[in-house]
C-alpha cells in the first residue's frame, strides 16, 4: 500500500462557524451577567482611571516621579466617584421629601394622570404615591448596596492606576510590529476620556438650565431633577427621555397639564439646542460609533450589567470593538460598518 500524504482538516462550513460564534457570544453574555456584581465595579474603575489618566501627562513631561502621577489619577477618580455618590444621595433624599410633603396633592391628581396614561396603553398606577414609595425604598437599598461595589471600585482604581503608569514608556521590542494596535488602543483611551469630559460639561450646563427653570416654575425638588438630567446625559439616545418623565409627571400632578407641557417645552428646547445641535459636534469625532449601534449598546450593556451599563455603554462598546477588530487591515470594513471612518486609511508601510 502506498502512503498517502496527510490531508488538512476540512474547514468548518460557514453556517457552523456562525452558530459557534453565536453560541460563544451567548456564553460570554451569560458569564458577564452572572458576574456583574464584581465585573461592573471593575469596569467602572477602569473607565475612571482612563478618564483621569490624562492628568498625569503634564507631570510625566516634567520628569516628576511616577508615583506622583499615579497619586493624582487615584485622587481624581476617588473625587469623581465620591462626588457623584454624594449628589445622587442628596437627590434621593430630596425626592423622598417630595413624596412626604406633596403626598396629598399627588394622591388627588394621580388618578387623572393614571387615566391619561391608561388611554395610551400604559400602566398609570405606577405613578401613584403608594407605588412610588416602594421604588424610593428600593433605590435606597440599592444605594446602600452600592457601598460594597464602591469598596471594589476604590480598590480597583488603585491597582489599575498603578498598572496604567507602565504604559507611559512601552518598550521598543514590545511596540515593534504593533504600532497600529497601540495607536488604536491609545485612540480608544483618549476618545473615552474626551467623551466623558464633553458629556460632563454639557450635562452640567443642561442640569443647571433645567434646574433653574424648574425652580422658577415652582416645581418641587428642582435639585433632584437637575441631578437626574446630569446623570442621564451620559446615556445616549434615551437618557433625555428618562430625565424628562419624572419632573413632567410631578408638574402635571401639582400644577396641571399647562405646567407639564411648559416643562416639556423647556426640556425639549434645551435638549435640541445643546444635546442635538451642539454636543454631537464635539462627540461624533471622539466616539465614531454609529447611531444604531449606540442605541443597541445601551440596551445590551444595561441588560448585562444593570443601570451602570447604560452609563458605560459607549466606552464598553468601543473597547469590545478594539478587542475583536483591533487595527487589522482586513477588519477595516467591519470598523467602517460600526461607524469608524478614521481607520479607512491604508496601513503604514514598514520602514
Q: Give the pLDDT score at 12.
A: 67
- Cell numbers given for 145: 448596596
Q: Length of the chain in residues, anyone?
A: 351
Nearest residue to 109 (alpha-carbon basis) of 211, 241, 250, 299: 250
Q: Give the pLDDT score at 147.
A: 56
DSSP states of 205-222: HHHHHHHHHHHHHT-S-H
The C-alpha angle with vertex 114 and arms to 111 and 120, in degrees rounded to 5, equals 150
Q: Give the pLDDT score at 274.
A: 80
Which long-range CB contacts under 8 A does 289-296 form with residues at least 24 apart?
289/314, 289/317, 289/318, 289/338, 289/339, 289/340, 290/337, 290/338, 290/339, 291/237, 291/339, 293/317, 293/338, 293/339, 294/236, 294/237, 295/236, 295/237, 295/238
Q: Give the pLDDT score at 216.
A: 92
Q: Within 10 A of 54 (CB to CB), how many other CB atoms are there?
A: 15
Between CA 127 and CA 162 the distance in angstroms is 47
Q: Give the pLDDT score at 351.
A: 44
Cβ–Cβ < 8 Å for 210, 219: no
DSSP state of 269: H
Contacts of 51 (CB under 8 A, 6+ apart): 76, 77, 80, 192, 193, 196, 197
Secondary structure of residue 91 in the 3-state scheme: helix
- Cell numbers given for 25: 457570544
Task: Give me the helix-helix angle, 291-305 and 14-34, nearest 10°.
Answer: 50
Burial of 214 (0-12, 13-18, 19+ CB in 10 A): buried
Cβ–Cβ < 8 Å for 164, 53: yes
Q: Would you list the domain boundaries of the chain?
A: 37-166
Cβ–Cβ < 8 Å for 236, 295: yes
Q: What's the sign of the alpha-carbon dihedral 83, 85, 86, 90?
A: positive
Between CA 22 and CA 24 the distance in angstroms is 5
Cβ–Cβ < 8 Å for 303, 283: no
Instruction: Per residue of the chain (351 residues), give pLDDT as tens.
Output: 455 555 444 456 777 777 887 888 888 888 888 888 778 888 888 888 888 888 888 887 887 887 888 888 888 888 888 888 788 778 777 777 776 766 666 666 555 555 655 555 555 555 555 555 555 555 554 444 455 556 667 776 777 777 666 666 665 555 566 667 777 777 778 788 888 888 888 889 999 999 999 999 988 888 888 988 888 888 877 788 888 888 887 887 777 788 888 999 999 898 878 876 777 666 666 677 777 888 888 888 888 888 888 888 888 888 888 777 766 666 677 777 776 666 554 444 444
pTM of the predicted protein model: 0.74
- Cell numbers given for 132: 412610588
* Residue with grid cell 470593538, as numbered in its chain: 321
Amino acid at each position: 500500500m502506498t502512503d498517502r500524504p496527510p490531508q488538512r482538516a476540512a474547514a468548518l462550513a460557514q453556517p457552523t462557524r456562525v452558530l459557534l460564534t453565536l453560541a460563544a457570544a451567548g456564553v460570554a453574555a451569560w458569564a458577564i451577567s452572572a458576574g456583574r456584581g464584581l465585573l461592573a465595579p471593575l469596569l467602572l474603575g477602569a473607565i475612571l482611571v482612563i478618564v483621569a489618566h490624562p492628568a498625569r501627562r503634564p507631570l510625566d513631561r516634567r520628569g516628576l516621579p511616577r508615583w506622583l502621577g499615579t497619586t493624582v489619577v487615584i485622587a481624581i477618580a476617588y473625587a469623581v466617584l465620591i462626588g457623584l455618590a454624594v449628589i445622587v444621595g442628596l437627590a434621593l433624599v430630596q425626592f423622598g421629601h417630595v413624596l412626604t410633603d406633596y403626598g396629598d396633592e399627588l394622591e388627588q391628581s394621580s388618578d387623572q394622570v393614571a387615566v391619561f396614561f391608561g388611554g395610551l396603553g400604559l400602566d398609570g398606577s405606577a405613578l401613584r404615591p403608594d407605588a412610588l414609595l416602594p421604588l424610593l425604598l428600593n433605590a435606597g437599598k440599592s444605594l446602600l448596596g452600592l457601598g460594597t461595589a464602591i469598596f471594589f471600585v476604590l480598590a480597583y482604581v488603585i491597582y489599575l492606576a498603578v498598572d496604567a503608569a507602565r504604559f507611559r514608556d512601552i518598550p521598543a521590542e514590545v511596540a515593534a510590529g504593533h504600532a497600529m494596535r497601540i495607536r488604536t488602543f491609545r485612540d480608544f483611551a483618549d476618545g473615552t476620556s474626551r467623551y466623558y469630559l464633553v458629556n460632563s460639561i454639557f450635562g452640567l450646563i443642561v442640569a443647571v438650565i433645567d434646574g433653574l427653570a424648574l425652580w422658577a416654575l415652582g416645581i418641587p425638588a428642582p435639585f433632584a431633577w437637575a441631578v437626574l438630567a446630569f446623570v442621564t446625559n451620559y446615556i445616549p439616545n434615551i437618557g433625555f427621555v428618562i430625565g424628562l418623565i419624572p419632573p413632567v409627571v410631578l408638574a402635571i400632578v401639582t400644577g396641571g397639564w399647562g405646567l407639564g407641557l411648559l416643562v416639556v417645552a423647556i426640556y425639549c428646547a434645551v435638549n435640541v439646542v445643546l444635546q442635538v445641535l451642539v454636543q454631537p459636534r464635539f462627540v461624533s469625532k471622539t466616539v465614531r460609533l454609529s447611531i444604531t449601534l449606540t442605541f443597541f449598546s445601551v440596551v445590551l450593556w444595561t441588560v448585562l450589567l444593570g443601570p451602570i451599563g447604560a452609563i458605560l455603554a459607549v466606552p464598553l462598546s468601543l473597547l469590545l470593538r478594539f478587542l475583536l477588530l483591533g487595527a487589522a487591515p482586513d477588519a477595516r470594513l467591519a470598523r467602517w460598518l460600526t461607524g469608524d471612518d478614521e481607520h479607512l486609511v491604508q496601513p503604514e508601510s514598514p520602514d
